[in-house]
Amino acid sequence: MSTANKAYNQSVKSIDVISVIPQMFEALHYGVLGRAVKNGLLQITCWDVRDYSEDKHRTVDDKPYGGGPGMVMMAKPLRKAILHIQAQRDKPLWVVYLSPQGTVLKQPGVMRLKEKLSTHNLVLLCGRYEGIDERLIESLVDEECSLGDYVLSGGEFAAMVVIDAMVRLLPGALGDNTSASDDSFSRGLLEYPHYTRPENDEGARVPEVLLSGDHQAIARWRSRMALQRTLAKRPDLLESAQLSAEEKEILAELKKIIIGD
Ligand code: 9D3
C-alpha cells in the first residue's frame, strides 16, 4: 500500500471505465489526476468493450429493432465486461451510465459519487452510437448521469469530467495547502477575480486593496466581489448558496445598488 493510502487509512479506491475508445482516457495521465493516480490515491482501469465481443470482427453494435437511423450497443459485450470487472473487485460495483437521459450532475452529485468510492468500485459506462440496449440499463446500471443539455458524440468526455471533478475532492489530491472545500464554488458562489505580477499590465492596475497587506480588508473585498459576480452572472446560484450573516448583509447592499435605490 502506498504512503498516501496509509496516511489516510483507506482501502484502494477504484474506478473502472468501459468504452469502445479506451485510448481517449490517456488524458487522465496528466495534471492533478495523473499525480493522484501516481500517488496511489486511486486506481483507474479502462476496459475496451471490443475485447468482450463474440465475433472475429469484434462487433459491439447492431441495427435498432423497429428501424431508424444509427446503431445500438449490444447488451452482451457490455454485460461480459461488467461481470469481468466485478470478478476482480472486492467491493460491490456501482455502475454509472453517462447518457443524455441521465440526471444532470451538479457539485453535490459529484460529492455523493466520490463518497460511493469508499464502499463501492465505481464503473463508468460510456455509450457511443445511438446508445445502449435498454435491457442492459435495466439490469446492470445503478444510475444515469448527464453533463447537461448539449449533444456529445459519446460518453467518454463525460466520464473524464466526472472523474476529474471527483478526484480533486479526494484528500491529498490537490496537495497540502489547497482545499477543495475552500472553493467558493463549493459554497455555491462564483470566485473572486485573481491577479498576479506585474502590478501594472499595459496600464491596467491590480486593485489597490490587494497590495495593502490588510488581510481583513482583502478578505472582505474578495467576499464582496464573489457575491457581486454571482449576482451579476449567475443569480440562480444565490437561491441555494450557503451564506454567512456578513455575506447576507453585503448581498442585500449589492442588490440595492443594482436596483438603484
Ligand atoms: C444524434 C443522436 N441523438 C439523437 C438526437 C441522440 C444522442 C445519442 C447519443 C445524443 C447524444 C449521444 C451521446 N451522448 C452521450 O453519450 C452523453 C452526453 C451528452 O450527449 N450530453 C450531455 N451529457 C452526456 S453524458 C453522455
- Residues 18-56: pLDDT tens digits? 999 999 999 999 999 999 999 999 999 999 999 999 999
Which stretches of the chain are DSSP H helices? 3-8, 31-38, 75-88, 107-116, 134-140, 156-167, 215-233, 235-238, 245-259
Asked if residue 186 has pLDDT above 80, the reply is no
**Which residues make beta-bridge pairs with 121?**
93
**Is residue 130 annotated as part of the catalytic site, yes or no?**
yes
**Is residue 100 annotated as part of the catalytic site, yes or no?**
yes
How many angstroms is it from 152 CA to the middle of ligand 1?
5
How many angstroms is it from 126 CA to the middle of ligand 1?
10
Ligand 1 pocket list (CB less than 6 A)? 98-100, 127, 130-131, 146-148, 150-155, 158
Segments making up each domain of the chain, as ranges: 2-167, 184-258
For ligand 1, atom 8, which residue shows the shortest CA distance? 130
Q: Tell me whether the omega of the peptide bond preceding residue 198 falls within 30 degrees of 0, making it cis.
A: yes
Residues 141 and 83 sit within 8 Å (Cβ to Cβ)? no
Contacts of 43 (CB under 8 A, 6+ apart): 12, 13, 14, 15, 37
Query: pLDDT at position 115, please?
Result: 98
How many angstroms is it from 153 CA to the middle of ligand 1?
6
Ligand 1: residue of 71, 151, 157, 161 to mutate (most ligand atoms within 8 A of CB) is 151
Asked if residue 70 has pLDDT above 80, the reply is yes
**Is residue 135 annotated as part of the catalytic site, yes or no?**
no
Q: Give mean pLDDT, residues 151-180.
A: 91
Q: How confident is the model at residue 179 (pLDDT cuts 50, 70, 90)?
A: low
Residues 52 and 82 sit within 8 Å (Cβ to Cβ)? no
Query: pLDDT at position 182, please?
Result: 57
How many angstroms is it from 202 CA to the middle of ligand 1?
44
- Residues 90-115: pLDDT tens digits? 999 999 999 999 999 999 999 999 99
**Is residue 22 annotated as part of the catalytic site, yes or no?**
no
Contacts of 254 (CB under 8 A, 6+ apart): 224, 227, 228, 231
Q: In whole angstroms, how large is the CA radius of gyration of the chain?
A: 23
What CATH number labels 2-167?
3.40.1280.10
Query: pLDDT at position 5, please?
Result: 47
For ligand 1, atom 13, which residue shows the shortest CA distance? 154
Query: pLDDT at position 114, please?
Result: 98
Contacts of 95 (CB under 8 A, 6+ apart): 82, 123, 125, 140, 141, 142, 143
Choosing from 79, 183, 187, 222, which is the catalytic residue? 183
Residues 189 and 237 sit within 8 Å (Cβ to Cβ)? yes
The CATH architecture to which 184-258 belongs is Orthogonal Bundle (1.10)
